[in-house]
Amino acid sequence: MVSASSSCDIASRHISVLPCETLAVFAPLWQEGEGPVRILDGTLGLGGHTQALLEASPRVSVCGLDRDEEALALARQRLAPYGERFHGVHCEYSRFADALDALGWDSLDGALLDIGVSSLQLDEAERGFSFYGDGPLDMRMDQHSGRPSAWHWVNRESFDRLKECIATLGEEPQAGRIARAIVDARQKDGIDTTAQLAALVERAYPAAWRAKARRHPATRTFQALRMAVNDELGELQRFLDGILRRLRLGGRLAIICFHSLEDRMVKQAMRHWAEGCRCPRHVMRCVCGHEPEVRILFKKPVQAGEDELARNPRASSAKLRAAEKIAEEGTAGSDGACA
């Protein structure tokens, strides 16, 4: 069993964002009814959100997934006091169905994603996620996955692929200059460390831009490489494609995003699920009979307040969106047919 001091030490390594707001999304699940409440935490991290859920009600059980083996080991240590109410699984969150099948969980009452990089990953230079320390260009959330690391992207990918990656995933206006600087530099010598790459990107930035920049010039480039290395948008899309079918009626989904592209994907998916008629615009009368599958819980995404930002500045870009499932996929109204 984990001692109180050990649990506090693990918790201090990463502060969960929007903890109260996230808990409020799921609270109706255990405030109503009497049976067990099964929740998926697809991005377990160090287990902060999961611990809050387990503390909220003895009826709650959580299946927590993470592809970072170090984080998973620490979360298991932290959550050991909850016994069989917690199940930690090493896998990508897009493979949630496999994990649930192994547990015999046919349906879920709730599902949660917190799609941010943990402090554990950012603060350990040897993981290669951050330019504030000097470490190898890795950036893989699962270092044993066999996936190409950031070193491969920086030293092997073409100028065009690098430019597209940095421009699209990093939303970096200087993507062309940065990609050219990387390609030119690696022809002379390899780029092996985060410090080398950060310095290279900084030099590639126009002096006027460097003077006005609020963040380090390498911020967006590192973000883009990390997202490419871990296929983060692909992971999210595969999750969104399958999660609604696993939620029971009345089940709830909460997703916290830190990146505009991910938040846009979540917003569009939830809006699509919440649509009624899906007939083409030229059809004068609905013939599809499609009913909304979810009720969106917040008109606008929930963001951290001043008190939380004072405790945890990394919460500044977090956005929470949530929905409740109100109908099965493909449900039709009484005067229509399934689409």
Alpha helices (H) along the chain: 4-12, 19-31, 48-56, 69-79, 96-103, 119-123, 150-156, 159-168, 175-188, 194-204, 207-212, 219-229, 232-246, 260-274, 306-311
pTM over 0.75: yes
List, for residues 171-204, the tens digit of each pLDDT value.
999 999 999 999 999 999 889 999 999 999 999 9
- Domains of the chain as residue ranges with CATH: 4-120+232-276+292-325 (3.40.50.150), 148-229 (1.10.150.170)
Are 128 and 150 in contact by the 8 Å Cβ rule? The answer is yes
Mean pLDDT lowest among 68-72, 128-132, 140-144: 128-132
Residue 130 has pLDDT above 90, yes or no: no
Mean pLDDT lowest among 59-68, 93-102, 203-212, 229-238: 203-212
CA distances from 195 to 22, 51, 270, 280 (A): 36, 36, 40, 53
List, for residues 240-287, the tens digit of each pLDDT value.
999 999 999 999 999 999 999 999 999 999 999 999 887 888 887 888
SS3 of 250-284: EEEEEEEECCHHHHHHHHHHHHHHHCCCCCCCCCC
Strand order through the sheet with 108-115: 86-90, 60-66, 37-41, 108-115, 247-257, 319-325, 294-296
Are 339 and 289 in contact by the 8 Å Cβ rule? The answer is yes
CA distances from 296 to 26, 58, 184, 271, 321 (A): 14, 27, 49, 8, 8
